[in-house]
Each structure stands twice: as structure tokens, then as C-alpha cells.
Structure 1
């Protein structure tokens, strides 16, 4: 296997003593025009462009890897595997493709198509917590371009299993009978399932033997129950609908016929009572009579028998919009609709609320509280009894539609605080009494996008404003730093603070079954509980890189008491570090660029700035 270039192209380490405020600690020359840079969850800055792909760790004097084997690397050629240290580089076309898997923490190249005997890779999927890579594709001409599957251990990069899929279970195929990969492979114990255009093939990767073939073609993605005995295949149709098939772990088809689902399946739960399915129907491109016949664009919820695939509900609940929240609770399914509305259905299809809750649009929050379940939308909020659906308070809290909604829970005073843009509304958890806690007058017509409880009060923040309000509702400070140049430009994506968000990554990971079973969460967890679950997930993977990620994720943020704001400084456009408890400027960094491209690593305490077309400057925060 080729070794990555680990020596820097150019790297200058400057001492901090006597520096001016605009001097970087370290400057990296990446050897070519930089097209893209992003801060990964692992805390490694990944930079792509004419100089290849490079990784930079906080405070390092040089990139710890530079990958140049594929030449220029574009943003669209990178696939970051969520909640992992892995990035997949994809290049090539129909006649040959190159894929390389790099561990950005260790800097090691764990897999490369050409070095492992592959000519064209159709699918390359990482499985966690197994920490395996499953590759499906065609081998080299020396191996007659046969379709095969390979399994690689990502802790070492070594091949653990291999199986030829062309011949099947001792069969010989010719001409158009040769299968082609059609969907995502699935790993279950020592078995690997591969969907093809001809059938579904199961191989034992420990010895490469084909165990069975099922007469199912064009499966898009797969999932199995916890035992691995029952397998569900999802066939996404060209018309936007989905067919669900079920087979045993020996290849027997368990349903007499597939279950036809309207729309694309976005959530799928295997429960003791049955199968909960959410699918999204999108007819927005259909106009006129065709549009009317196609029906509304909305989510559909089904509950199927795991034994037969038949619908267990006589009547499916109406959504009249798209499912935004979907949770499995003790007595049924709780769901919230983006367009407004919350309802709960028992596992046998009965409505558990007297009537669906009528809410405002865009449900930002649904969370359990000691008093009941709170919801917060763009225009209203309420706490209701999760068993009956009745309001704990006399009626929902209504407010003018906000440009942005932020909320927090003040545990010491047993109240919920909701920012509507112009004011902060306080809701007494015990009584439901509503009062105006504070007025807001952020400059540049901004609305708070974040609100948190600090030791000294309640902090509200936006791109250019910080405001700390005492627990009595009186202003302690309001800090404002004008956006540079035209007031609107900073709202563009050129200078977004890129703090790694595990929650966002988790949500992205589940889309379309790519890295999980469904999209979203099935538990009403708090943010802290979700973060704890991610930490435990890191700890369960036997890999030094995951151990390093876990250590970083558990670490106290070095800059948790500061916010970084892009503004005009005396020497030009720059970044100011503002204390969250004082509102005072603690540090200034001049970037000398009207539209700077930068990333901030709050955990590592670093600012990375694209100072030249081929150069990254790093500043300690």
C-alpha cells in the first residue's frame, strides 16, 4: 500500500511572543489552490484542492498527511462518514473508478481500489460499530472483471473477507445474466448481503462461500432485526414509490408478496408490535390534472405486520404535511408535522388524543419535562399531557412569528424562556403563567439564534450580537460588532463558524438508509443524553482514532466562555473573541480580507483562515 506524504510542503512555526494581533501561530502552504476546507468531528481540518488532500491537527507545525495520488481533489469527491474519523475520496468514471479511505486522525490510507485489486468500485460502505469497510465492484482484467465483494478491517486496513459474486452458488453465468450492483450492501455478523440487478446474494465473508441467493432484484438498501434472522429490503422505484421485501437469513422469502409503499421510506422501526413506516410523497413537480390525480405532497405513516407485511391499521392517520418529529413511546407512536400539528396513535391504530394538537408551523422542539411534553414552534408553545394530549396550561402561548426562535430551560427558577426575536417570554413551569422576561433590540435586524443559562444570567446570541440578561430580566450588557462591509454579506456562507455538531451529523447519517435504519430519533432524549450516547459509541470501537475522538469530545471546550464574531477592525476585516460573561473583547485577529474563508475549532482553540489561494494560517484562540 502506498504511503501518504507526511512531510510538510512548507510549514513555518512562529513563536507567540511579541506577535502582533494579526500574526498567525502557524502557516501551511498546501502546494496548490485550495478549493475546500472543513473542520471534521475528529478535530482535524481537511483541506482539498490542487495540492491534493491534506489533514491538519490543532497546533501541529505541519500537515500530518498529504494525499496526492489522485492529483486535484474536489469537494464533491469527498464523502465524510458521520461520527467517524473516515473520509472516502471518490474519483473516476464509468470505465474505472478510484476510491480511497483515509483515517484523518491517524493520517493513514486504509484502502485504495487499485492497490487491492479493484478496477471499478460501485459501492463502498463503512459499518459502525463493527468498524468494517464493505466494497462491491469489479475486479481487474486479470480476474476477468468479475463482480465481487470485499470486507476490510478499518483498524488495520487489512482484508478480512472476499467473495466472487459472478458465479453465485457454484453457477456459471454468461452475457446479460451477469449481475451488476444495484444498492447498498449490508453486514450482519459474518454474512454480507449484496443487492444486484439480478438477485440478492448472501456470502460468508470468512470463507468467501455464497450461502444463498434470493430472487429479489434492484434492492436499494437493507436492514435486519437485532437477531439478524429477518431481513428487510427496500426497492426504491423510478416513480418515487418504495417496495418492501422480507427474507430470512437463509434466503427464503417470508412475505407472499412485497409491500407497496407510496413515496420514499424515510423512517423504519422494527418493533415488537409491528413495523412502523414513514414515507414522503413529493408531487411538487406535477402540475395541472396530473398533479391533482397524484395527490398532495405529504408524509404517510403505515404500521405493518412483521409476519405478513399486511397493514395492521384500518385507517392511517392523516398528516396533511411532512413528519418532522417521530418518536416511539410506551403506548404508541408520537409524531409532529412540520406544517403544524401533533398526534399520537396506539400500536393498534387508535387515536390516543381526543383530537390532534393544533400547533404553529415548524416544530423546533418536542421534549419531555416534569410537567409533560413541551413543544415550541415559530408562533406558539405549550406543555401537554403525553397520555391525553390535553394542555397542562389553560391555552397555548401565542407570539408573533419570529425570524428565529431560541429557547432554554431555567431550572433554578422552574421556567421556560423563549425568544421570539423582539422579546423573551417566560413561562412558569408550575402554573403556565406567561410574562415578558426581557425586551430584545439586536442591531442589523438580527434575532437571537441561541439562548443559554450562564452563571450570571441568560445569554442570547446571534452573528453580531451578544446580550446577557440577569435572572431578574434586567440587562447586564449588550455587545455588538458591526458586520464587515455590506451588512448582509456576512450572512452568506463564506465565513461560517464550523464547530463540529454531532447531532447534525447523526441526522445526516440516517438519510436514505446510508448509515442507519431510519432518519431521525425514536426517543425523546435530551441533547446531553444524545451526546452521551455518541461518546459511548466512540468508546465501543476498538480503534486508536476513535479513542482520540472520544477524548476530544469529552474534553471541556477551551473557548466555551467566548463567542467569535467577524467584524471590521482597525487593520481590516477580522475576528474578535468576546467573553460571554462580560461582553468584553478578549482578542482580535485581523484577517485582511473582505470575505474571509475560515473555520473555528472551539474544542481545539484554533482559527484556520485561508490567507492565500494555497495557504492556511492558524491562530491560537
Structure 2
């Protein structure tokens, strides 16, 4: 009896194993260790963290693009994807034994490692774009004891991984009672570098000669105007409740009598001909004390000559600034908790009164009629000069979990989907008419809307529909979700990377934000802008990313949906115009972990704990 039981048990195990076997992939990758996280990058490379280390996957070959096992298991908090670049930084170890490696996930090349370059302690590491450089500060084992214990700065070319130049903060062996620690990101200029230290800012030539030093200590980050003659340095207090801003001349002299003080942390800083626009975020830190700071942003406008606030009264925000745009006549801003306002560079309110809106302003953009805004509760177009409503009253809907919108150029109307209904809005009058209903299964709301030759396409995770220009349904396809718990496992790689890239320095956040109000629905222009930005840097990896952003996305004409098929759980490719299934990939896994590269048209699927399958979705 026991033998029969064992035989049946073995058979069930074998059948279970067979049932989990996925369809034959186009490529397969043995990761070499238990997979913990998968990250889909902007370049289409899948970066996989396992118990053994980090690997890169680029379809076209069954070989791994790179395999990095020097640090063993890599945790999510030890990874930093450098925004708008082909680089990922792996950082491990404590302050006294910090280890860092930079990997190009397009070429698979390891460009920098602290061990390979003999850094025994790293104070700071940051990238300078568009120069395409890595700047490292710390202690390097390259000489005698004096040299090994003297703080050093080195610049590496990220195009080839080679060192450009390096220098010591002060001559090795020099007797000093002062402790020189690099406290923030150095600023790389055309002919020099500024290094913030615990004793002040030090300016060095690119050959290491000291040009000047000043006494502005413990600066976190810096930025400069286009001429590089005016430098602004930012120092945060220990609690993070306030910052001081210093202005420094080309010779290192402080140009303001006193530092400008702002509450909270600076998240946006713009150098303008009229002055300096500053947005800082204050946080209560969860405290309920009456003395705690409010959770809101402050907007200030400083004199570039004196650092004094030019506005007698700062505009009230009563929340965090979600949108911030520099206009010809002033500053336009939108608040996450609701509300839009515009203020001139001399501090005068340009709108007749602050515009009330719903929470979570998802869209603020130029249209021929004025500024369109779309929130989770309402939408309207307003006059950008006065703030007057173009539409007599805003389009109202319940607080929607998803709002999709587009402009139907052929019929001159906005189509806005919310609350299971598509509303057609006249762009000039705001007159609203019911266009169609969207009765999506599993209580889903459309998350995307797109104009097609045959009508209006709407899609969500499990539903897709095409509606003709008269509001009649052409087709509606619904694909049942495998299980509710599945969706906790399939967070998109693009989202994962986005959350990672948010963890960048304040310098990157403030300096990289050009704050220009875009045109409604101009996605192609944004892709073209990114493509040109990548191409301008010049390396082969950036050129690859440039060409990728010029290409048509694989999801332009099809949608990929995870569902339960006759033979098991799988991914279906469905044509947006016909609603017909063009491809099925059976995964046979009730809770699959996968990523879809929308641009490249590749499905990455975790087939086993240490195995990834890749499928070409374009075929």
C-alpha cells in the first residue's frame, strides 16, 4: 500500500511539474541563483537581482549580457538606476568600507568598481551629465601612507570607464588639524571643479591645482548659471527642516551679505533673468504637535543680487506643488491637494483668484483654447492670462481611480473617460455630451485611450474596446484575470525603475527640471526630445537608447493581457483595431512574475526560481 501511495505521489509531482512548464521561449537565461527582483530599464535590458548577484538580459542571444557576483546578493536599496542613462550603480557596505560598482546595462560593461580602482573608502559618488562623467571622492590606496590617508577626487569617463584625472584635496603629508570630508556632490564646470567639504568649498583646476577656497562648510549640492560665473550652493541643517542658499562668485567670494534661508528642502530651483525661483517642501514628519511644520510647499522668488525675497507675500499653497512651470510673464503652479495659480515675477497674482480644482492634477498642458487641467475629480480649460474658465463650468465626475483623455482632431472634441462613461467636450464652449459607456468587467476603469482609424480605443488590465466615432461599440474584449493575488506580483518594471530613479539627489531633481509647460497629447515630441538628448551625449550606449526612443512602440497596435486560457495562464496579444487575438503564450503559472517591454516587444517570464524565459511578441 505504501509503495502504491509513493508511486501515486511521485506521479502527481511529475504532473504538477509538467503543468508548470511554460511554452517554449525564444530565449532562456539561467540566472545562477534564486531570483529576488526584476527591473525593466528604459533601454529594454532586464536587470535581475538574485541571491548570487546581479545579471543583465538583452534578447537576441541566450547568453547573459553581464553577470556581477562580486558583492553576492544585491538588495533593492543597494541599487540606483541613474536617471535618463544606461547606468546602474551597485553600492554595498558601511561608510568605512563602502563598495561601489557602475555597470552599463546596454553594453554590459563594468565601467567602475571601487575595488578595481583601489578605493578603500568612498565619501561621495555622482554622475555629471551631459559630460558623461563619474565623480568619486574618498580615500584611495595608490601610494604611501600619507597619500592613502589624504582625501582624493577622481573623474572617470563613463564612455570607456577610464580615469580622466584625479587630485588630492590638499598635498599629502601636509600637517593640518582640520578634518576634510567631502559633504556633497562636486560641481563639474568647463575648466574647474568645485568640491564641497566640511571646511568649505575648494575650487580645483582639472589638473588638481587649487584655485581658491572659501568658508562655506557642509554644502550638499551646487548649481551654476550658463556663464558659470554665478554659483549657488545649498546646505541643509541636520534635521532637514531648513536650508541655506549661498551665492558664490567665480573667484569663490560670497556675493550675498547673508545666506538666504528657506524652510524645508529645496526641490526646485530655477535661475531666471528676473531672479531665482525656489520651491521647498516642508514636512511635519508625522508629528501632531502644534509646533510641527505643515506638510506643504513654499514658493519663493529671490533677488540674484542680494538673496532677499522679492515677494512681499508668498503665495499660499496648502499642499505640495505637483506642477511648476516657468511662463513668459510669471510662474504657473498646481497643487497636489487641488488648486492652480499664477504669479508674476514681481509677486503679483495674475489670476483674478486662485483656481479651485479637484485633487491630484494629472494633466496641465497648453491647448489652443488655453490651459487644460484634468484631475481625479474634474476637468476644465482656463485662460492662461486671467485664470477665467473657458468652459462655463468644469466637467465633474466622482473621484475616479483612473481618468483617460485624448483629443479627437477630426471631430474637434475632447474625449474624457471617467466613471464608466466617455464624455465628449467641445473645446471652445465646454458643452458636454455623452459619447459612450464603458462597462468594463472586474470593475475596471479605462487606463488608456487612443484615436484609431476606425474609432476610439480604450484599454485596461483585462479589458479593451473600440468605439466608432458615433459612439457605437465595434468590439469589447474581456480576458479574466488569473487571480486577484496575481497583481501583487506583476508590478510593471517601468514603474519599479521609476520608483528607483526617484531616489536621486536634490541637485539632479532641481537642476534637471526645466519646468516648461508642454502641449496636450504631444507624446511624440517628448520621445523625440529624449531621443535627441541621448544622441547628444555621443556614446554607443546612449545612441542605442536614442534609436530605441525613435522606434514605434510594440504596443502601438496591440495590447498584451495576462489571462486564464484553456491550457492555463498565459499572455495574449490582441489587435487594437480588430480585437482579434494575434498571439498566445502559455505560461501555465497561476501567479506568474513577468515584465513586458512595450517598446521592444519582449515578454520576460520567471519560469523557475533561477530561470527566465524571453518571448518575442512582435512575431
Per the normalisation by structure 2, the TM-score is: 0.91
What is the SS of the residue equivalent to 1:119? strand
Query: Which string of whole-angstrom CA distances, capped at 9 and with x for unpartnered residues, describes residues 386-424 of structure 1?
Result: 111111122212222212111111111111111113201
Distance 1:157 1:295, change over 3 A: closer
* Residue pairs, 1:367-386, within 5 angstroms: 367-386=365-384
Deviation at 1:238, TM superposition (A): 2.5
8 Å CA contact 1:414–1:430 kept in 2: the answer is no
Tell which deviates more after alignment, 74-83 or 351-360: 74-83
1:419 to 417, 420, 425: 417
How far apart are residue 607 of structure 1 and its match? 0.7
Q: Tell me what 2:277 maps to.
A: 276
**Residue aligning to 1:496:** 491
User: Which deviates the most, 520-529 or 342-351?
Assistant: 520-529
Quote the offset at 1:329 in angstroms: 0.5
- 2:33 is matched with 32
Deviation of 1:439 after TM superposition, in Å, equals 0.8
Equivalent residue for 2:595? Answer: 599
What is the RMSD computed on CA atoms of the aligned residues?
A: 2.1
Q: Deviations over 1:138-176 (max 9, x none)?
A: 122843322111011111211111110144xx993435x
- Counterpart position of 1:197: 198
- Count of matched residue positions in the alignment of Structure 1 and Structure 2: 591
CA–CA separation in structure 2 for the residues paired with 1:173 and 1:460:
71
User: How far apart in 2 are the matches of 1:135 and 1:424?
Assistant: 53
2:580 to 567, 581, 584: 584
The 5 A counterparts of 1:152-551 are 152-167=156-171, 172-175=174-177, 177-205=178-206, 207-239=207-239, 240-287=241-288, 291-485=289-483, 488-492=484-488, 494-499=489-494, 508=502, 512-514=506-508, 517=511, 521-525=515-519, 526-551=522-547
Q: Which moved more, 1:474-483 or 1:237-246?
A: 237-246
1:581 CA drift (Å): 1.3
Deviation of the 1:385 alpha carbon:
0.9
Q: Is the 8 A contact 1:83 1:506 kept in 2?
A: no
Cα deviation, 1:111-163, whole Å, max 9, x if unaligned, reads 11122231111221111111111111112284332211101111121111111
Alignment-derived partner of residue 119 in structure 2: 118
Q: Is the 8 A contact 2:268 2:510 kept in 1?
A: no
Task: Return closer, same or farther for 1:128/1:366 CA change in 2, 3 Å cut-off.
Answer: same
Q: Cα distance, 1:506 vs. partner?
A: 12
Distance 1:479 1:414, change over 3 A: same
- Offset from partner CA, 1:523-549 (integer Å, 9 cap, x none): 335433322221111111121111111
Give the TM-score normalised by structure 1: 0.91
Which of the numbers 149, 158, 169 marks the counterpart of 1:145? 149
Look up the match of 2:11. Answer: none
CA contact (8 A) 2:267 2:510 kept: no
Q: CA deviation at 1:520?
A: 7.1
1:347-369 Cα deviation digits (max 9, x unpaired)? 00001111111111111111110
Contact (CA 8 Å) 1:119, 1:145: kept in 2 or not?
no
- Is the 8 Å Cα contact of residues 479 and 583 (structure 1) preserved in structure 2? yes
Contact 2:337 2:360 (8 Å CA) reproduced:
yes
What is the alpha-carbon distance in structure 2 between the residues aligned to residue 461 and residue 610 of structure 1?
A: 25
Distance in 2 separating the partners of 1:365 and 1:507? 21
Separation (CA, whole Å) in 1 of partners of 2:91 and 2:180 = 23
TM-aligned CA distance change 1:587 to 1:353, over 3 Å: same
Residues 389 and 171 of structure 1, relative CA distance in 2, 3 Å threshold: farther
Query: Distance in 2 between the 1:94 and 1:329 partners?
Result: 44
Cα deviation code 1:458-498 (max 9, x no counterpart):
1111111111111111111111111112xx32332x11343
Give distance in 2, aligned partners of 1:47 and 1:620.
19
Q: Which runs of 4+ in 1 moved over 6 A?
A: none
Partner SS for 1:551:
helix
Instruction: Name the counterpart of 1:104.
Output: 105
SS in 2 for 1:471: coil
